[in-house]
Chains A and B, each alone.
Chain A
Amino acid sequence: MGDSAIMITFGNEIKYDTHKKIKAFMDSLENDPFVGLIECVPAFINLTIFYDPLVVYNLYKKRNKTESMSPYKVVSSIIKKRLQQIDSNQELIHRTVSIPVCYGGEFGPDLEYVARHNNLTTDEVIYIHSNGEYLAYMIGFAPGFPFLGGLSEKIATPRRPSPRTAIPAGSVGIAGAQTGVYPISTPGGWQLIGATPMKLFLPNDNPPSLLQAGDIVTFSPISQDEYNETVLKGEGQ
Chain B
Amino acid sequence: MSLRVIKPGLLTSIQDLGRKGFQKHGVIVSGAMDAYSLRIANLLVGNTDHEAVLEMTLMGPKLKIEKDCLIAITGGNLSPAIDGEPVPMWKPVFVKKGCTIKFGPCKSGCRAYLSVAGGYAIPEVMNSKSTYLRGELGGYKGRALQADDVISFNEQSHHQSPLSKKEVTESFALANWSVNYKKFLPLSESPIIRVTKGSQFEYFTESSKNECAKMPFTVSNQSDRMGYRLSGPALKLTHKHELLSEAVSNGSIQVTPDGNPIILLADRQTTGGYPKIAQVITADLPLIAQVKPGQSIRFSFVTLEDAESLYLQKERQLKELKSAVSLAFKNK
Q: Which residues of B contact A209 (CB under 8 A)?
A: 25-27
Interface membership of A70, Cβ < 8 A: yes
Distance in Å from the Cβ of A15 to the closest Cβ of chain B?
11
- Shortest distance from the beta carbon of A113 to any chain B beta carbon, whole Å: 24
Nearest chain A residue, comparing its CB with the CB of B304 = A72
Find residues 240-287 in chain B having any chain A CB closer than 8 Å to their own CB: 244-247, 249, 251-252, 269-271, 279-282
Within the assembled complex, what's the spacing in Å between the Cα atoms of A53 and B23? 18
B189 lies within 8 A of chain A by Cβ: no
Most chain A beta carbons < 10 A, residue from B22, B24, B281, B305: B24
Distance (whole angstroms) from the CB of A28 to the closest CB of chain B: 15
Interface range, B side = 35 or more
**Within 8 Å CB of A39, what residues of B?**
20-24
Cβ 8 A contact of B28, one of A2, A5, A57, A143? A143
Inter-chain CA distance A201–B136, complex, in Å, is 12
Q: Evaluate whether A2 and B312 lie within 8 angstroms (CB atoms) in the complex, with A143-B26, A144-B26, A208-B126 already known.
A: no
Answer whether residue B206 sits at the interface, using C-beta atoms and an 8 A cutoff.
no
- List which B109-149 residues lie within 8 A (CB) of chain A: 125-126, 134-135, 137
A109 contacts which chain B residues (CB < 8 A)? none
Flag whether B311 is at the interface (Cβ < 8 A).
Answer: yes
Chain A's interface size range is: 35 or more
Tell me, in angstroms, the Cα distance from A76 to B304 when the chains sit together.
13
A135 within 8 A of B: no
A130-168 vs B, Cβ < 8 Å mask (1 yes, 0 no): 000000001111111101000000000000000000000
Interface contact tally, CB-CB below 8 A: 132
Query: With contacts A2-B251, A138-B245, A141-B245 known, is A41 near B271, CB below 8 A?
Result: yes
Contact check, B22 vs A208: say whether CB atoms are below 8 A apart: yes
Q: Kindly provide the distance from the CB of B243 to the nearest chain A CB, expressed in whole angstroms.
A: 10
Nearest-CB distance from A118 to chain B (Å)?
23
Q: Which of B284-307 contact A (CB under 8 A)?
A: 304-305, 307
Q: How far is the CA of A183 from the CA of B134 in the complex (A)?
A: 12
Q: Is A86 an interface residue (CB 8 A)?
A: no
Q: Which residues of A contact B281 (CB under 8 A)?
A: 2-3
For A141, give its contact among B137, B244, B269, B315 (CB under 8 Å). B269
Q: Which of A201-224 contact B (CB under 8 A)?
A: 201, 203-204, 206-209, 212-213
* A183→B126 CA distance, assembly (Å): 17
Indicate whether B202 reaches chain A with its CB closer than 8 angstroms. Answer: no
A140 CB to closest chain B CB (Å) equals 3
Q: Does B85 contact A (CB under 8 A)?
A: no
A140 touches B308 (CB 8 A): no
CA distance A144 to B135 in the complex (A): 11
B199 on the A face (CB < 8 A): yes
Contact stretch, chosen from A42-50, A90-98, A229-237: A42-50
CB interface residues, A 68-106, toward B, < 8 Å: 70-72
CB under 8 Å from chain B, chain A span 54-73 = 54, 57, 70-72
| 9 additional contacts (CB under 8 A) given A142-B269, A208-B27 | A26-B24, A45-B246, A53-B282, A54-B311, A141-B26, A183-B26, A204-B125, A208-B25, A208-B126
**Which 3 pairs, one residue from A and one from B, show the smallest C-beta to C-beta distance?**
A140-B271, A48-B247, A209-B25
